[in-house]
Structure 1
């Protein structure tokens, strides 16, 4: 397959993945505000549905042995997985759904991109070596986020604490919890290594064990919050969200990565396509729910955010090309 054909297909599947991922930002706000549903059910029901779906998929795809080994791994390292899953899945999505009651979808999606800034912080806290290249692009992205949310930073009020702060907590929790899972799967934590269970290389098993770790925290928060009963709309449409994000969007992203095969440059490009979630979330919110368009500084921030992401990934692609070329010369 020609290089341009490969990249065209990656771009197509990556765009479709981002389209479905970004749709959930607007749907969450619609469920919480328009349908008067409590934010807690928007978060918890998604994981309950994903839990059921993942169990069925693993059972069909890998068999009962693989499923039982996942549960055995979880219960034998329950404290670690409750921490990793509780942070990376539980706190992450609880905060995101809470903020959806106070923020437009495009603001939510844009501010969420700060998770890219928090990733090197997480690696530093976990005592990993950090390469400083690309910091300039991260700063450009962060400035973009500040401009997008300029109205929120004019005054420190309830809207600020109920929207921006929870999103930032979610943006930090997601890489922290999932990096803990990644390191455990790679055997970096000897006492918590899951290699002996034979499930460390299958993303489905990893998703299940992280969901298992998140459920205790989700149930505890439900007891504390004591929400009203979920609406019929939440019961129906959150199942749709689970399918959109957990099945369709993930399928398209995995399809793009599969086309990239073992080409590191193409793989970086496939992951980079997800940077268009912010403008897509703006599209969903405006078309479906008539959300307010950003002001001038918001548009500039959106451009800077997208530009920073694009340059960040192009820099990685260029570096990988130079590395490949040096290996050939050697």
Structure 2
């Protein structure tokens, strides 16, 4: 009885933390769009977030006295850390910032919710054959609702933009939506219970740094140094999304990482990013409200997220 109560409590806490993470993650989509509209280099927008995150997280982990154990963990499996950190942080965020140049922030946020479906399939696939669990029919149904909502929003956007622009704003984001849960789940398996959320976030930031250095060099060669406003805005993204939101989300996934159904529900809370991003874009960028198809799509995405959460 006590064990069941603890599991239910962990699920509810994890879902609450996931929703709070979605609020802070939403700042990424709005600020990335602001920088894209103002002509900021997407390479600098992406790399600066993680360059800012590095010293902030380093100080936090060092103060907590957990730095040496993290470095020891990375050293014991450095190739895997470099690979999955580059995928989970590098590929994920580079594609997200690239996509922000071609569509409104709420559409990028909505498309990124494909991560819910990706996470649901990735979980069983990365398990060893004898330990794989079947995907529940309910979770599959709720994910289909989310996917249909995303498709409706893409159809609505296609009516007002060229096919080339829509594809450039959609396909990279879909790649990022797969890379994020893949990198996150692989790193959870590699680090096990030996690291907390602060350590894992710092570790992945350190190990994705070669990717960000190369990307920032491309940004410099193409656009020169970043502007003062881009430095400030990427710092805000690093703090709100890179540190606060990531730590909240990683803490949430750590609470239920043994339960694939609950883990899928936590990842589904990120659908709230769509609502938070839409509100932010309307208030800050004075963007027009979504049309009929887009509104229906947003409702379906959020409905799918809520059903995912209630199913736990």
SS at match of 2:206: helix
The equivalent position to 1:137 in structure 2, one of 142, 149, 162, is 142
Residue 214 of structure 2 aligns with which residue? 220
Contact 2:70/2:195 (<8 A) preserved: no
SS at match of 1:26: helix
The equivalent position to 2:188 in structure 1, one of 157, 182, 186, is 182
**Structure 1 pair 230/203, CA: closer, same or farther in 2 (3 Å)?**
same
**Structure 1 pair 172/49, CA: closer, same or farther in 2 (3 Å)?**
same
Q: What does 1:135-214 correspond to in 2, within 5 Å?
A: 135-152=140-157, 157-186=163-192, 200-214=194-208
Q: CA deviation at 1:72?
A: 3.5
Q: 1: CA distance between counterparts of 2:290 and 2:98? A: 22
Q: 2: CA distance between counterparts of 1:67 and 1:13? A: 25
Residue 233 of structure 1 aligns with which residue? 229
**Structure 1 pair 25/175, CA: closer, same or farther in 2 (3 Å)?**
same
Contact 1:91/1:173 (<8 A) preserved: yes
Contact 1:22/1:277 (<8 A) preserved: yes
The CA RMSD over aligned residues, in Å, is 3.3
Q: 2: CA distance between counterparts of 1:104 and 1:172? A: 21
Q: 2: CA distance between counterparts of 1:298 and 1:74? A: 44
Q: CA deviation at 1:177?
A: 0.8
The equivalent position to 2:22 in structure 1, one of 18, 21, 34, is 18
TM-score (norm 1): 0.77
Q: 1: CA distance between counterparts of 2:12 and 2:187? A: 32
Does residue 27 of the first structure (1) align with residue 31 of the second (2)? yes
**Structure 1 pair 257/109, CA: closer, same or farther in 2 (3 Å)?**
same
Contact 1:152/1:159 (<8 A) preserved: no
Q: CA deviation at 1:162?
A: 1.8
Deviations 1:223-248 (A, max 9, x none): 44533211111111211111112444
Uncovered stretches (5+) of structure 1, i.e. residues with no partner: 1-6, 187-194, 317-330
**Structure 1 pair 130/270, CA: closer, same or farther in 2 (3 Å)?**
closer
Contact 1:46/1:242 (<8 A) preserved: yes
Does residue 292 of the first structure (1) align with residue 288 of the second (2)? yes
**Structure 1 pair 15/85, CA: closer, same or farther in 2 (3 Å)?**
closer
Uncovered stretches (5+) of structure 2, i.e. residues with no partner: 1-10
Q: 1: CA distance between counterparts of 2:280 and 2:124? A: 36
Residue 71 of structure 2 aligns with which residue? 71
Residue 61 of structure 1 aligns with which residue? 64
**Structure 1 pair 256/160, CA: closer, same or farther in 2 (3 Å)?**
closer
**Structure 1 pair 80/272, CA: closer, same or farther in 2 (3 Å)?**
closer
Larger radius of gyration: 1
Aligned length: 292
Residue 279 of structure 1 aligns with which residue? 275
Q: CA deviation at 1:26?
A: 0.7
**Structure 1 pair 95/72, CA: closer, same or farther in 2 (3 Å)?**
same
SS at match of 1:290: coil
Does residue 38 of the first structure (1) align with residue 38 of the second (2)? no
